[in-house]
A and B are shown apart, each in its own frame.
Chain A
Amino acid sequence: MRVEIVTKCFSPELELATFSRNSAVGAVASFTGYCRDEGGVVERLELEHYPGFTEAQIDHLAASVVARHSLIDALVIHRVGAIPAGEPIVLVAASSAHRAAALAAINELMDYLKSEAPIWKKEIGAHGDVWVEPTVRDYRAAACWRRVQEEESV
């Protein structure tokens, strides 16, 4: 498992090319999130994190997803700092024996990152500077995975 916070642009393609190559792997699923310009309104995002704490929290979230889905490996790369529209923000990848586990795991990882990873995102653009906060849907999605976890542990 690898969790990394980066401050420069990264290549999702290059990262995936070297992710989890071994003969036990039957499925690799991944998701890349990009900075969108919202029709020319957003120029860039500025993301900040709490060095050390953010990595530890994401590590903890990723480890619980790896265990729950019996993944072979997982990868989370999250960029912080100034991110111009069009560039990648986040890459999550999961490898497993079969596709269902890998697909469910990246969905769950993204839901956690949206509302439970200590990262703060500000949109900079034509409408001024706006702090982005999780939506009700984001909180519900993360809570939903928590419920599944609790039910499984009973």
Chain B
Amino acid sequence: MAKVLFFGRLRDRAGLGEREVALSEVVALAVFRHLASAGDDDLEAALAAPSVRIAINATLAPSDAACSVWPSDEVAFMPPFSGG
């Protein structure tokens, strides 16, 4: 099981803060995004926006193309930060 975390407006959009995704093998991030959206096309598009940053196991992912997700990973989808 991989764990997905949604933050900020993506949490509102998904209607939940986290969800588990059944994975039996390593997948590319684009495939994982599809699985994480659970059939919600609008959510999948929102997760793919260039402004959304991704952390895998609490480490910022460098770029979309280079990322793979393993069955035990925790993947966070993060819209633009607004601290301070």
Contacts and interface: CB of A to CB of B under 8 A. Distances in A.
Contacts of B81: 115-120, 134
B5 interface: yes
Given A48-B8, A50-B5, A131-B8, A119 B82 contact: yes
Most buried by B among A53, A56, A119, A122: A53
A110 B84 contact: yes
A114 interface: yes
Contact of A134 (B5, B58, B80): B80
Contact of B83 (A53, A113, A122, A131): A113
A81 to B, nearest CB: 14
Given A50-B7, A50-B55, A56-B58, A119 B79 contact: no
Contacts of A134: 80-82
Interface residues of A, number: 25
Contact of B82 (A33, A53, A120): A120
Interface residues of B, number: 16
A48 B7 contact: yes
Contacts of A75: none
Contact of A120 (B55, B58, B79): B79
A119 B78 CA distance: 9
A76 to B, nearest CB: 10
A121 B82 contact: yes
Contacts of B58: 50, 52-53, 56
A115 B55 contact: no
B84 A131 contact: no
Interface of A: 33, 47-48, 50, 52-53, 56, 78, 89-90, 110, 113-122, 131-134
Given A50-B55, A78-B83, A120-B7, 5 more contacts: A50-B76, A89-B84, A90-B84, A113-B84, A120-B79
